[in-house]
């Protein structure tokens, strides 16, 4: 297992010799953390890798859902099964994001914001500019534009109470970044038609 510590001020220690801890001195963003893990997986000779957010929403036991799929050229998204305790902002954000990815690619996806995914190493060849939360949308769109596929598998999700929830998503800055990204991707698609 590879853990990417993206500039946290928490001391992370692992007693297991099969855990590789990679550290960013400063917070470089979720996209940069994913790319750091991807480069390390490529160095180890893997052709795909898993990403699992560290916010305890996802169960590692769901990884079996991904294993049955061919991961060599496809991004596989763990589509969250939303239950009663899902915050409105998460429901709205997912629907909003799904709509724009459809407008940019013509492909309908269930959960473009899920933090549980499998990526092929080939994403390292894409022209990816974003390094924060907006990376997760840019990689989906550009992967589809490159002629490759995205698959989805159903996974469970657990939302903690509002007081227990940990997120570094800045509602103003990150939504502004995402809106700017969607606008530029849509313009690129229309320009290249």
Which is higher by pLDDT, 11 or 15? 11
Compute the average pLDDT of residues 79-103: 89
Compute the average pLDDT of residues 120-134: 96
Q: Over 70: is that where the pLDDT of 164 sits?
A: no
Banded pLDDT at 15 (limits 50, 70, 90): low
pLDDT tens digits, one per residue of 35-57: 999 999 999 999 999 998 877 77
**Spans of all domains in the chain:** 2-191
Q: Over 70: is that where the pLDDT of 137 sits?
A: yes
Say whether 52 sits in a helix, a strand or coil: strand
**Tell me, which fold does domain 2-191 have in CATH?**
Spore Coat Polysaccharide Biosynthesis Protein SpsA; Chain A (3.90.550)
What is the DSSP track for 80-116? Answer: E---TT--HHHHHHHHHHHHHHHHHHS---S-TT-SE
């Amino acid at each position: 297992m590879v853990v990417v510590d993206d500039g946290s001020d928490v001391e992370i220690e692992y007693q297991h010799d099969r855990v590789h801890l990679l550290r960013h001195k400063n917070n470089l963003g979720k996209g940069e953390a994913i790319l750091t893990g991807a480069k390390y997986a490529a160095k180890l000779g893997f052709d795909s890798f898993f990403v699992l957010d560290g916010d305890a929403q996802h169960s590692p036991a769901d990884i079996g859902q991904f294993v049955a799929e061919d991961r060599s050229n496809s991004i596989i998204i763990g589509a969250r099964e939303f239950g009663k305790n899902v915050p409105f902002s998460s429901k709205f954000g997912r629907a909003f994001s799904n709509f724009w990815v459809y407008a940019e690619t013509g492909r309908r996806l269930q959960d473009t914001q899920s933090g549980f995914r499998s990526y092929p190493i080939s994403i390292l060849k894409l022209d990816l500019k974003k390094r924060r939360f907006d990376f997760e949308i840019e990689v989906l769109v550009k992967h589809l534009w490159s002629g490759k596929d995205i698959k989805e598998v159903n996974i469970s999700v657990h939302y903690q109470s509002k007081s227990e929830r940990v997120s570094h998503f800045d509602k103003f800055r990150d939504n502004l970044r995402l809106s700017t990204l969607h606008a530029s991707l849509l313009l690129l698609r229309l320009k290249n038609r």
